[in-house]
Amino acid sequence: MKHHTLRVSPQTVHWGYFSKAVAASLVLRSGDRATIETLTHHANDDHERMIAGDPGAESVFAWTREHKAVPRRGAGPATGPFKLGAGEGLGVHLLTGPVVVEDAEPGDVLEVRILDVRPRPSCNHCYAGRCFGSNAAASWGFHYRDLIEEPKPREVVTIFELDTSGEPFARAVYNYVWTPQTDPDGRVHANIDYPGVRVDPASVTKREGILRNVRVPARLHFGTMGLAPAESDFVSSIPPGHTGGNIDDWRIGKGATMYYPVAVPGAFFSVGDPHAAQGDSELGGTAIETSLTGDFEFILHKQADLGGTLLEGLDHPLLETPEFWSVYGFTYPNYLAALGPEAQTLIAARSSLDPAMRDAFRKLRRFLMTVHRLSEDEAIALLSVAADFGVTQVVDANWGVHGSIRRNLFNSA
């Protein structure tokens, strides 16, 4: 067993997509562990608090007219002319990786244990040691076309501070309405439509004293984590799917284990979109987006060994915590296969919870029938009286419903 360290740098992150085609940041073997840094792609919502003085963050976010450290940000075109910028923001999340797992082949399952998760403190001497995050109530939020106060519509950024002195919690610092921001290449972003654009503090009106006396208990987790799909070389990081990705379940934190079906040789694991807290649904479009570092353990389960285990027949992501197993239903279980070559843009117009609920039902039924050897009638009864279905997210194009079953239901004589 080897313990690796993967720090963030322009060479160890990729921005806005999963990919089987980019160079590995790290190669490891089953059983190895790795400490992996991740950065929130919202850090430039408050550059002073979340980037300034942090060599890793500064290196990744570096962008001047002469030099853009990570040019491509999204699965869209990498060569211009651009409307928004390279990658065209078709995908937004800063992901660390890919981590290539030796001997991983399609049909295998990769187990990823999250051993620990820690916030990344500010390196700005003004805020040294303090931790911050950003929540953007954005144009892709569920609320956006359904606002009641003026001006409508509007995007709003709320900066939170994370208090880690005891049981960690977040508290709002200030918020502002998004105003058009000009990037170093001269493009004006009237909306939050391209990741990593630095907000000019002079251009926005900060409102302090907000959410007074409100404490949000922390739920440190990785919103986006998974493997590269086979269908395309560049896959937008926004819609989650059969190899995981942007699932946005706050339960994917310390102590959780995720299982992913391997779709390409080497597995190509990436992780990012770190969150300090999120509710089920991620209603406004984002969580408290906060840079985090995790300790992970990787275990490769070869296809030939899956029979009779928890992983038999698994063709979708599965969460295991000490308390329960969860499956993830999506509007389309594999939208890339279902919607064809234009899937990555078509999916946004197809969002619905109803098919996601159907998918979660089918996956959890399969789990009970395959892994727990129940008849269909036993499985349906148990689903009805003991399984809980929740709204994972309604903001990631391929909307999600998770189905959970408690582990302590079983094997209790």
Provide the binding-site residues for a second copy, judged by CB under 8 A: 135, 137, 141-143, 146-149, 156, 158, 160, 170, 172, 175, 177, 210-211, 213-217, 277-288, 352-354, 357-358, 361-362, 365, 374-378, 380-391, 394, 401, 403, 406, 408-413
Distances (CA, A) of 118 to 35, 218, 306: 11, 11, 32
236 contacts 250 by C-beta, under 8 angstroms: no
CB of 318 to a second copy, least distance (A): 18
Q: Provide the Cα torsion 347, 348, 350, 356; round to 10°.
A: 80
CA distance 151 to 135: 19
CA distance 69 to 25: 16
Q: CB-wise, 154 or 187, nearer to a second copy?
A: 154
CB of 177 to a second copy, least distance (A): 8
CB of 273 to a second copy, least distance (A): 14
Q: CB-wise, 97 or 403, nearer to a second copy?
A: 403
CB of 263 to a second copy, least distance (A): 25
Q: CB-wise, 64 or 408, nearer to a second copy?
A: 408
* Residues whose CB falls within 8 Å of the CB of residue 2, separated by 6 or more in sequence, listed in order: 28, 29, 32, 33
**R_g over Cα of the chain:** 21
Cis peptide before 153 (omega within 30 of 0): yes
Q: CB-wise, 95 or 357, nearer to a second copy?
A: 357
Angle at 10 between CA 102 and CA 343, to 5 degrees: 70
Cis peptide before 121 (omega within 30 of 0): no
Q: CB-wise, 170 or 311, nearer to a second copy?
A: 170
CB of 354 to a second copy, least distance (A): 5
CB of 156 to a second copy, least distance (A): 5
Reference 3, options 232, 213, 297, 280; nearest CA is 297
Q: CB-wise, 176 or 268, nearer to a second copy?
A: 176
